[in-house]
Amino acid sequence: MKPTPPLEAAAKGYRIPGTEIYIDPLEPVACAIISHAHGDHASEGHETVYCSEGTAALIKSRFKYPAKKIITPAFGEEFVVKGISFSLHPAGHMLGSSQIRWKLNGRSHLYTGDYKREKDLSCEPFEISPCDVLITEVTFGQLNKVHPPAAEIIAGLEKYGDTNLMIGAYNLGKSQRLTRLINDYAPSFRVMVHAKMVPYHHIYEKMGFNLGKWEPYKREQFKHSKHIVYLVPPPSLYNFRPGKHFLRAMATGWDEQHLRYDFPLPVSDHADWPSLIQTVLESGAEEVYTIHGNGTALQAAPELKDKQIYIL
Ligand SMILES: [Zn+2]
């Protein structure tokens, strides 16, 4: 018999059944726990929000009215909401990104939110947290889908050194990670960033993450010099007409998107197939629920045949 799911759909996010505690709601609620500051997980207008310090800094910058009250427990610190004990644990997805853990009816639950396990010096590293019930994202839950090491992909940019590059990246998260990666693995490039990314770069640095050298975009220099990577929001990349003096690429884990541009740049901030399997096994959970993606491949994975896996 199928057990009662640990979360139910509500307020365009999730609610813990029998409570008024919402996780990543996209509509205003009295009590929200927010995993990270991306627009498909964070929203504004709440009464009380619980989130990490990094997420709080980002949602305050993103939204005019994030919440009446924002409470920022440290990673690993226990906090009690309406009688339930919670804690946040780093998810390695972007600055402040958190897995949310709670204890209910004698069982520990873990909601991963978006996560990745690959090294990323622009945010807190992923931590595994043992639990009885795991709720995992499966954005890339396709059998054997592997994200190549980002360090190698970025080091490969050096071969385009006699031109400029325009790289599409989300303003928040991906562009800060790329800034740091290019500094570390393709250091002959100057990094210029789109104006919309600049406030987030500053917040990352204020929170103690060194992104390396970068500067706001300077049009004339991009036109007349070489060895520049210009990071732009994805819509700008698509709308920019290909120029003679630069090549375009989109930093994403979705293979089909690369076909639109001059070369592929498969850098993802989500768990790939081996990471998903590893996380389910290391969590020790017997009961697993998938969200954000298609969980059918995971349900059929031979490595997980002893687990009960459900699609939420
Ligand atoms: Zn995200």
> Which residue ranges make up each domain of the chain?
8-144+270-311, 150-258
* pLDDT at 132 (0 to 100): 98
Residue 110 CA to ligand 1 centre (angstroms): 17
**CA-atom Rg of the chain in angstroms:** 20
Distance CA 34, CA 13 (A): 10
Q: Does domain 8-144+270-311 have CATH number 3.20.20.80?
A: no
Answer whether residue 244 shows pLDDT above 80. Answer: no
| Burial class of residue 216 (count of CB atoms within 10 Å of its CB; 0-12, 13-18, 19+) | exposed
Residue 36 CA to ligand 1 centre (angstroms): 7
3-class secondary-structure state, position 74: coil
Q: Which amino acid is at 148?
A: P
Q: Which amino acid is at 41?
A: H
| Residue 76 banded pLDDT, cuts 50, 70, 90 | very high
Answer whether residue 1 shows pLDDT above 80. Answer: no
Distance CA 193, CA 271 (A): 26
Cβ < 5 A residues, ion ligand 1:
38, 114
The two structure tokens encoding residue 307: 């687990």
* pLDDT at 238 (0 to 100): 83
pTM exceeding the 0.85 threshold for the entire prediction: yes
Residue 97 CA to ligand 1 centre (angstroms): 8
3-class secondary-structure state, position 197: coil
Mean pLDDT, residues 95-111 taken together: 97
Residue 94 CA to ligand 1 centre (angstroms): 7
The two structure tokens encoding residue 311: 């699609």
- DSSP type of residue 160: G
Selected from 3.40.50.10710, 3.40.109.10, 3.40.50.720, 3.30.930.10, the CATH number assigned to the domain covering 150-258 reads: 3.40.50.10710
Please answer whether residues 137 and 298 qualify as being in contact, where contact means their C-beta atoms are separated by less than 8 angstroms. no
Answer whether residue 2 shows pLDDT above 90. Answer: no
Answer whether residue 245 shows pLDDT above 90. Answer: no
